Structure 1
Amino acid sequence: MQLQSESNPALNTVTAYGPDYIEINEVPYGHAVYFAPEGEIHQWMVETIGDIDTGALRQVAGLEDSKPDPMAFLDGGANASRPADAPEVLLVGTGLKQHLLASHVTQPLLRLGVGIEAMSTEAAARTYNILMSEGRRVVVALLPNKEIA
């Protein structure tokens, strides 16, 4: 009996990665990218870990910028609910090595119920492919595998 994993060719899949590229659906990209299982592959205007801020993460998650509610303190610090179009988890591939993101950068999305995981680009690509194949609402942002000084 031949065992073969089922895949949906309509879904964005990381098919390879190397020192200076990330390959999605067998198309190589030499710059940072972000994408979800369905839709376009977007260039991410981030070159280093230091360029990643809350706005960059909101862009990847597809969340519109919103001004903070000046009356939010009345809710006693209760977490806002995750917007219907927001992903369950946002994976960030940080290059050759894992670099953690600052809490002040991730907290606004965490408060909305969007999980954020930072890991090496290779680990993020593998994790994305698994979560995507399970039908999870995941988005991934990947920096190329370049050594960050």
Structure 2
Amino acid sequence: MRLKLSNDTNPLLNTVTAYGDGYIEVNRARFEHAVAFGPEGEIGHWPVASADEITTELLRQAAGLRQAATDPMAFLDADESSAIRPPNAPEVLLVGTGPRQRFLHPSILQPLLRIGIGVETMDTQAAARTYNILMAEGRRVVVALLPA
């Protein structure tokens, strides 16, 4: 099955233009592996083959977050209110888990939620459509998609 999305794309923004069995098309370029990207910048290879492989670090990578060096004793002074979203962070990270929605364990999501990044998991088709809508609205969104 192939579904082509809108013909009206902004050439300056990364847009999901189609998807089908085993592939995702972004800006009319076909990818047969998982990808992660935001409205601007590169469409990166996301090293995930199935939803079972998704870790917090892979979500951080998809969101474009760098692992900050931390003091190993910082937890003594930290509390829930001390988590601050980095300036380069998206508002929301959409995760397309393939042909079926697969929920991720809360412990995987918690580090991103703690710094104010919403994480939504859904099937890849729904994630692609939602990304296009949020991106067109000018939202700070990043999407990580496994082929459907």
Same fold, judged at TM 0.5 (above): yes
Cα drift, residue 76 of structure 1: 3.5
* Structure-1 separation of matches of 2:32 and 2:8: 28
Per the alignment, residue 60 of structure 1 pairs with 62
| Cα separation, 1, equivalents of 2:54 and 2:120 | 13
Partner of 1:144, secondary structure, is coil
Which amino acid is 1:96 matched to?
Answer: P
**1:88–1:138: 8 Å Cα contact kept in structure 2?**
yes
User: Does the residue aligned with 2:39 lie in a helix, a strand or coil?
Assistant: coil
- Go from structure 1 to structure 2 and tell me whether the alpha carbon gap of 1:6 and 1:29 turns closer, same or farther (over 3 Å shift): closer
Where structure 1 has 5 or more consecutive residues not aligned to the other structure, the ranges are none
Task: Give the counterpart of 1:11 among 13, 25, 41.
Answer: 13
Residues 49-99 of structure 1: per-residue CA shift (max 9 Å, x gap)? 111001100101111113555333434432512111000000000011100
RMSD over aligned Cα, in angstroms? 1.6
Structure 2 spans left out of the alignment, 5+ residues: 1-6
Q: How many residues align?
A: 141
2:77 is the counterpart of 1:92: no
What TM-score, normalized to structure 2?
Answer: 0.89
CA offsets 1:83-142 (integer angstroms, 9 cap, x no match): 110000000000111001111111001101010000000000000000000000000000
CA contact (8 A) 1:79 1:111 kept: no
**In 1, Cα distance between equivalents of 2:52 and 2:14:** 27
Quick check: 1:37 aligned with 2:13? no
8 A Cα contact 2:80 2:114, kept in partner: no
Q: Secondary structure at the match of 1:78?
A: helix
1:126 aligned onto 2:114: no
% identity of equivalent residues: 57
| Stretch moving more, 115-124 or 61-70 | 61-70
- C-alpha distance in structure 2 between counterparts of 1:82 and 1:68, whole Å: 15
